[in-house]
Amino acid sequence: MTITSIILWPGTKICERMGVDPEADQGLIRSMFNMLVYLVVMLAVMWMILG
């Protein structure tokens, strides 16, 4: 497993669960889901550090 596949894993699993091909549209849908997942994770980390 490469670092790229580890980073893209959340978006790939969400797309598979929704029945969408993760490689469709050059992976834009997968990228959107990855950004949302990592946004929530980073906001939670920042909240714990600063709170």
- pLDDT tens track for 1-51: 899 999 999 999 999 999 999 998 889 999 999 999 999 999 999 999 998
Q: Are 27 and 33 in contact (CB under 8 A)?
A: no
Q: Within 1-51, where are the H helices?
A: 3-18, 28-50
Residue 1: what pLDDT?
82
Half-sphere exposure (Cβ direction) of 11: Cα atoms closer than 13 Å: 21
